[in-house]
Structure 1
């Protein structure tokens, strides 16, 4: 039996459903999701294992017109990724009309072709199909088809599973023949510290004002196992995390009145972290102000961008 393996990159404007779709295809949470734009800030790899193929999904930050140095670096990250994959999935939500952001990305995809992406197929993926009636979905499919030259156009819903399997088949069909690239059962190659930081940031983004998502960065200082005996065979880990914002007013938002909001963030994040690490966790959260870090090259470097 022929075996295929390779990389597929999901690209699209912020909040187009890329991370949710990545999780749906992998069958487990490997990328954080949020209703806030620009939740994803680095490349996340999720791995789909099949008897006849191994599909490595690369979820990227939303491609957008940057307003800060951070935005420029995220766009550069997306462009670099596009030149290294076997197939590109261009995500466009079914419940929103095609706008300037979508046209901008279509133009960027076309411009990348002479720079080494020539011949790389682009699959237009119409996400969030469950949010619109069939007639509206048909209209969106026609609009997407007219937006550019696509290898395939596939409507999908990550929430209810509509055509998730079909999309996997389409993407696998564009992969080259080759052996598995990752061990069987491995679902992501993300370092644990990065995933822990992302889970904290996901919890912190719930229910906050529009200004905060862009200004919030999270760094894990350490993950240390306690020397005390494991309870019922489950070890205890001390996880120390710093959350960085750009202004004192944002720090107050994260902490909340009397620290209530920060405690809530810690409770929700700890549940996810314990499931990830398979251990009991004492989560130590600290909030600091790093003024205008999105525009400061030195601070961006210290925060991992």
Structure 2
């Protein structure tokens, strides 16, 4: 069994992004800019935003966080996003999810300019992903593909089971695997007999937020297991969706939680922001 070390790879990517940011500054005097919209006081969201801010600082990306009260109106947020769309110092816009119930999440995501949609959630970028065209790809699935590539794991022709059908992870993950010529099956809350599907998988990719959902008897020998879930157990420890200690005995490769997919998500956000800045600098030239 070999661990897929996302922390190590994310450090490597940060160095590459940092070098590219320096080159961009030297070439055109442009500093990539990322704006984050944070609504309310959810501790987990605040922690994620803080991690992203520190990562931006490490690689030389300018970042600003718009902290908004829990009771903010739809119109107020939309005005701020429109202003950021028109702000030439901002290359990427990220709306931290989840949002309060009074906010129409889809409307906000659709309002972000596709050119600044570094989260890859705009229908324009989703469409380009599903048709195999270049665009912005959601950071977590993109990070998974980078992690597989780093360890020379070719998904072509492999039976891949994606557990979870969210717009943020499951669906774009499936599209990326299909684009790489994998055979893909999506399982979700209404799937009958999940074990039957996962036992046939060469690669299992799970991200649903259920502790120990994937157990040892659901995984065939030498399978590859990508745990995208992140949860806190009763002891407050960060754990994934896979029964790691038991499943690792059967795997050829497996991601740890923490230290697997999580760091790759932030690394891909930095990479996407740099990409947006590079495109914007060419258009301004």
TM-score (norm 2): 0.25
* Larger relative contact order, structure 1 or 2 (CA cutoff 8 Å, min sep 6): 2
Which structure is higher in strand share?
Answer: 1
Larger Rg: 1
More helix by percentage: 2
